A and B are shown apart, each in its own frame.
Chain A
Amino acid sequence: MADTPLRRGIGWYRGPVLVVALLTSLLFYLPFLVVVATSWTGTSFIIFPPQDFSLEWYSTVLGDVEWTDAFRVSLWVSAAGTVVAVVLGTLGALALARLRSRAARRWVRTLFIVPMAVPPVAYAVGLYSVNLRFAALQENLTLLILGEALLAMPYVFVMVSTGLGQADPALRPAASTLGAAWPLIVWRIDLPMIAGHMVAGAIFAFAVIFDEVVLSVFLAPIGVKTLPLQMLDASQEALSPELTAASTLVSMLAVLMLGAFSLISNRRAARARRLARKAATA
Chain B
Amino acid sequence: MTIALSIQDVHVTLGHNEVLKGVSLDAVPGEFVTLLGASGSGKTTLLNVIAGLQRVGRGHVLFDGANVERRPPRKRKVGVVFQSYALFPRMSVGENVAFPLRAARRPGAERRRIAQEMLELVDLAGMAGRTPDSLSGGQRQRVALARALASDPGILLLDEPMAALDKQLRERMQVEIKRIQQQVGITTVAVTHDQAEAMTMSDRVAIMQHGRLIQVDSPENLYRRPVNEYVASFLGEANLFPADHRGPLPAGAGGPASGTAVIRPEDLVILDAAHPADRWSIRGVVRLLSFQGSRFRLELATPEGQVVVCSLPPHAEVGALVPGSEATLGCAAPHRVHVIRASDAEPLLGVAA
Residues of A whose CB lies within 8 Å of any CB of B are: 167-168, 170-171, 173-181, 184, 188-189, 192-193, 272, 275-276, 278-279, 282
CA of A168 to CA of B86 in the docked complex: distance in angstroms? 7
A168, A189, A193, A279: the one contacting B84 at CB < 8 Å is A168
Q: How far is the CA of A276 from the CA of B148 in the complex (A)?
A: 25
- Say if the beta carbon of B113 comes within 8 Å of chain A: no
Partner of B133 from A170, A189, A192, A276 at Cβ < 8 Å: A276
State which residues 55-101 of B face A: CB under 8 Å: 72-80, 82-84, 86, 88-91, 99-100
Q: For the complex, count residues of B whose C-beta is within 8 A of A.
A: 34
Q: Nearest CB to that of B140 among chain A residues?
A: A279
Counting from the closest, the 4 A-B pairs by CB-CB distance are A174-B86, A192-B90, A170-B86, A179-B103
Whether A279 touches B86, Cβ cut-off 8 Å, given contacts A178-B100, A178-B147, A181-B74, is no
Closest residue of chain A to B104 (Cβ to Cβ) is A179
Most A CB within 10 A of own CB, among B91, B103, B133: B103
B151 interface contact, C-beta 8 A: yes
Which secondary structure characterizes the binding site on chain A? helix
Contact of B72 with A176 in the complex, beta carbons under 8 Å: yes
Residue of A nearest to B131 (CB): A275
Asked whether B103 lies within 8 Å of A174 as measured between CB atoms, the reply is no
The answer to whether A171 touches B135 (Cβ under 8 A) is no
Question: CB distance A282 to B136 under 8 Å?
Answer: yes
A residues near B333, Cβ cutoff 8 Å: none
Query: Which residues on B are within 8 Å of A, measured CB to CB?
Result: 51-53, 72-80, 82-84, 86, 88-91, 99-100, 102-104, 131, 133-136, 139, 147-148, 151
* Shortest distance from the beta carbon of B133 to any chain A beta carbon, whole Å: 5
**Chain B residues near A176 (CB, 8 Å)?**
53, 72-74
- A177 close to B79 (CB less than 8 A): yes
* Cα A193 to Cα B91 with chains together (Å): 10
When distances are taken between beta carbons in the complex, the residues of chain B under 8 Å from A276 are: 133
Given A177-B51, A179-B151, A193-B90: A170 in contact with B74 (beta carbons within 8 A)? no
Q: How far is the CA of A179 from the CA of B74 in the complex (A)?
A: 4
Q: Is the CB of A184 within 8 A of B103?
A: yes
Q: In the assembled complex, how far is the CB of residue A281 from the closest CB belonging to chain B, in whole angstroms? A: 9
* Partner among B73, B75, B84, B135 whose Cβ is within 8 Å of the Cβ of A170: B84
A170 to B81, CA, bound (A): 10
Report chain A residues within 8 Å CB of B82: 170, 173-174
Chain B residues within 8 Å of A181, by CB: 74, 103
Taking A171-B88, A175-B103, A181-B103 as known contacts, 9 extra A-B pairs with beta carbons closer than 8 A to each other, sorted by chain A number, are A171-B86, A173-B80, A174-B82, A174-B86, A177-B73, A177-B74, A178-B99, A178-B103, A278-B134
Smallest CB-CB separation from B81: which chain A residue?
A: A174
Distance between Cα atoms of A176 and B90 in the complex (Å): 17
27 A-B Cβ contacts within 8 A? A168-B84, A168-B86, A170-B84, A171-B86, A173-B53, A173-B73, A173-B80, A173-B86, A176-B53, A176-B72, A176-B73, A176-B74, A177-B74, A177-B78, A177-B79, A178-B79, A178-B103, A179-B100, A179-B103, A180-B99, A180-B100, A188-B88, A188-B99, A189-B90, A193-B90, A278-B134, A279-B134
What residues on A are CB-neighbors of B135 within 8 Å?
279, 282
* CB atoms of B53 and A279 under 8 A apart: no
Question: Which of B76, B83, B88, B139 is close to A177, meaning CB atoms less than 8 Å apart?
Answer: B76
B73 contacts across to A, CB distance below 8 A: 173, 176-177
Q: Which of B74, B79, B134, B136 contacts A180 (CB 8 A)?
A: B74
Residues in B neighbouring A179, C-beta threshold 8 A: 74-75, 77, 100, 103-104, 151
Which residues of A have CB within 8 Å of B77?
179
User: How close is B247's CB to chain A, nearest CB, in angstroms?
Assistant: 50
Q: When chains A and B are docked, how far (Å) is the Cα of A168 from the Cα of B147?
A: 17
> What's the minimum C-beta distance from B254 to chain A, rounded to whole angstroms?
58
State how many angstroms separate the Cβ of B39 from the closest Cβ of chain A: 17
Contact: B139 with A282, CB < 8 Å?
yes
Minimum Cβ distance to chain B for residue A186 (Å): 13
Contacting pair B147 A170 (CB below 8 A): no
Contacts of B134 in A (CB 8 A): 275, 278-279, 282
Chain B, Cβ-Cβ closest to A280: B136
CA distance A179 to B148 in the complex (A): 11
CB distance from B12 to the nearest CB of A (A): 15
- A177 and B53 within 8 A (CB): yes
Q: Shortest beta-carbon distance, B178 to chain A, in Å?
A: 22
CA–CA, A170 and B79, complex, Å: 14
Residues of A within 8 A of B51 (CB): 173, 177
**Which residues of A are found within 8 Å of B84, using beta-carbon distances?**
168, 170
CA–CA, A253 to B219, complex, Å? 71
Tell me, rounded to whole Å, the shortest Cβ–Cβ distance linking A161 to chain B. Answer: 18
Chain A residues with Cβ below 8 Å from B86 are 168, 170-171, 173-174
Most buried by A among B82, B86, B91, B136: B86
Residues of A within 8 A of B133 (CB): 272, 275-276, 279
From residue A230, how far is it (CB to closest CB) to chain B in Å?
43
- Most-contacted residue by chain B among A173, A276, A278 (CB, 10 A): A173
CB-CB < 8 A to A173: which residues of B? 51, 53, 73, 80, 82, 86
Distance (whole angstroms) from the CB of A75 to the closest CB of chain B: 32
Structural contact, A170 and B83, CB atoms closer than 8 A? yes
Interchain CA distance A174-B85 in the complex, whole Å: 9
Bound: A192/B132 CA distance, A: 15
Q: How far is the CB of A213 from chain B (nearest CB, A)?
A: 39
Q: How far is the CA of A213 from the CA of B111 in the complex (A)?
A: 54
Q: Determine the chain B residues whose CB is within 8 A of the CB of A188 once the complex forms.
A: 88, 91, 99, 102
Which B residues touch A189, using CB under 8 A? 88, 90
